Homo-oligomer: A and B are copies of this chain.
Amino acid sequence: MSLHGESEVLLTPAEVASLFRVDPKTVTRWAKAGKLSSIRTLGGHRRYKESEVRALLGAASEDATPDK
């Protein structure tokens, strides 16, 4: 493992909000509620792991079977 570690891609609140089609502030609430892990910048702004976000997005609960 390098010093840089695994290149963990981080997303901004606006990017996560765009993916879920919600308000950025809603993403903040998810982080506060512990539903989504967040990393803090030194200034206090939140960043989110892309892998985690993608995983949650992929968990599209569908009643129907896509059949594909």
Contact = CB atoms under 8 A, between A and B. Distances in A.
Contacts of A14: 1
A30 to B, nearest CB: 5
Interface residues of A, number: 41
A34 B11 CA distance: 25
Classify the secondary structure of A's interface with B: loop
A37 B21 contact: no
Copies in the complex: 2
Contact of A41 (B3, B20, B32, B66): B20
Interface string A28-48: 011111111111111100010
A63 B10 contact: no
B57 A39 contact: yes
